[in-house]
A and B are shown apart, each in its own frame.
Chain A
């Protein structure tokens, strides 16, 4: 287990106070946050390239913050890869193995396995300048993984890649992680990348870990409005807790002038009556009611009339903006193309929408 405890760091106007981060062994951990949130500073602190004012970094319970970078057993993959241009691919791969214990035969065998997984055997005698973008990524990954690091730090390694190459390297990272089970901390601001790669995600905003959890939890159940906004969630409606019942297990919350009762399984934390909250509604879970179709009893209470104000073609999906009757707000609804075609919707059309209780998420204002 790798821990960052109470990290305090100040750089110019930027401040990071008492930051904690826990990385489980063998887990691909993504540190997700906007530009300038301090992601790279954390990476540099863990690896020992940046002095911090207070805090500890522990690997397997042992403090390593006073060790020089070369004695921490942490590999680092920067965005520009930094392949050594004066060394061949083979020499690049061997660089981290030279200082390691073990016989030359063992090292060669270990490296051969890695070369096979990465499919870079034909590149060994070439120099980095002559490699394609994908080949460079593979070699850089091989070089970082060759010494079997206790932790692999990846600093936005896919940020500058074109979409096709990005997908290829993402798949490679998943394959490598499945076969080698290394512990990784991958820094990115890309939501899609974080969701695809991260088994565990920590959201860092303005030098603070706002939320840390399994990817589904973070993406579907944000704990704060800051996280929700960073994740691009737009169906956030300011409402109020009206009642807490059954020993705190049921919450009654106002919603567009009505009352809706939800289980606390759908709330970020415990709330008190009268407390202001945000209700988040997942855009892909809003249903459009077809005229003449029977409606489930459980949905009847949550049906709202209104109008389609705008339709956006997003390629694989249509985005529909719905304005409830007598309310000056918009609800974003995502519809797969085949459903959109079946409904024959157009802008200005009067429709009814319905929401299941399970589609709501309550978070503090």
Chain B
């Protein structure tokens, strides 16, 4: 077999592996009860909670990550390599460890004073957002930096020579040109936030109708041996995630 065919076979094997994994879940379903589980109040709450938390997380990641990505892409400053390295921390650190670090932070004097001032994170909704943010912010910044790297800084230079301020040059020229790349980055981060489990469960806990996101609901259903609910929740989560990834492909295709 030639090199090209071998490579294609490897790609197809990976695809079949994941497809098999999804289809194997269907063998446990009896074809009824899907809607019953889907429309159950706790499932709908989990879906709503997950969508809301992931959306807020993504907005926060964009608000902070976009200027950070711009700085890393376009400027040089002392400690840039160190900052760049730290962005990859969530990728090499287990989410549970990240969640534990956050939990421990709120037991330090600074963390405790934040909690005492009424902004509650531990076992609360803001804790879900914070845990997801800690997991995806680095990735979001890295992906947005890649999107900005693809746009030549010459465009901004020329725009500035034509009377635009640095802000104006960014919003009128670089942002529209990088828009698809930035949108892809944010969709990917949103999908990752939706599926985040380790850090969330450690910081926000597993409280039903309070901090039970989709991944936590799956964990809880499995722990209580409710296989049908587990599978349906997995399929819903996989459906949301795959739809987001497909949206990324569509956005990239048009770029």
Give A residues with C-beta under 8 Å from B: 47-49, 68-70, 72, 74-78, 80, 82, 84-86, 95-96, 98-100, 143-144, 147, 153
The complex places the Cα of A126 from the Cα of B161 at a distance, in Å, of 23
Residue B221 at the A interface, CB < 8 A?
no
The smallest C-beta distance from A160 to any residue of chain B, in angstroms, reads: 14
Residue B117 at the A interface, CB < 8 A?
no
CB-based contact A80/B154 at 8 Å? yes
CB-based contact A75/B161 at 8 Å? yes
Known A84-B173, A85-B177, A86-B177; judge A143-B162 contact (CB<8 A): yes
The smallest C-beta distance from A164 to any residue of chain B, in angstroms, reads: 26
- Please name 28 pairs of A and B residues whose Cβ atoms are closer than 8 Å in the assembled complex, sorted by A: A47-B157, A49-B157, A49-B160, A70-B161, A70-B162, A70-B164, A70-B165, A72-B161, A74-B161, A76-B157, A76-B161, A78-B157, A80-B152, A80-B154, A82-B154, A82-B157, A84-B158, A84-B173, A86-B176, A95-B159, A95-B162, A95-B164, A96-B163, A98-B163, A100-B163, A144-B161, A147-B163, A153-B161
The smallest C-beta distance from B26 to any residue of chain A, in angstroms, reads: 45
Residue B39 at the A interface, CB < 8 A?
no
The smallest C-beta distance from A191 to any residue of chain B, in angstroms, reads: 26
Chain A, Cβ-Cβ closest to B162: A96
Interface centre among A84, A99, A144 (most CB of B within 10 A): A84
The complex places the Cα of A70 from the Cα of B160 at a distance, in Å, of 5
Interface of A is mostly: loop
| Per-position binary interface string of chain B over residues 164-186, scored 1 when its CB falls under 8 Å from any chain A CB and 0 otherwise | 11100000010011000000000
Give B residues with C-beta under 8 Å from A: 152, 154-155, 157-166, 173, 176-177
CB-based contact B162/A75 at 8 Å? yes
| Cβ–Cβ < 8 Å partners of A147 in chain B | 162-163
Known A68-B165, A70-B165; judge A84-B155 contact (CB<8 A): yes
7 A-B pairs with the lowest CB-CB distances in the bound complex, closest first: A99-B163, A96-B162, A76-B161, A69-B160, A82-B154, A82-B158, A70-B163
The smallest C-beta distance from B159 to any residue of chain A, in angstroms, reads: 7
Chain A, Cβ-Cβ closest to B151: A85
The smallest C-beta distance from B12 to any residue of chain A, in angstroms, reads: 35
| Cβ–Cβ < 8 Å partners of B176 in chain A | 86
CB-based contact B158/A78 at 8 Å? yes
The smallest C-beta distance from A131 to any residue of chain B, in angstroms, reads: 16
The complex places the Cα of A84 from the Cα of B178 at a distance, in Å, of 12
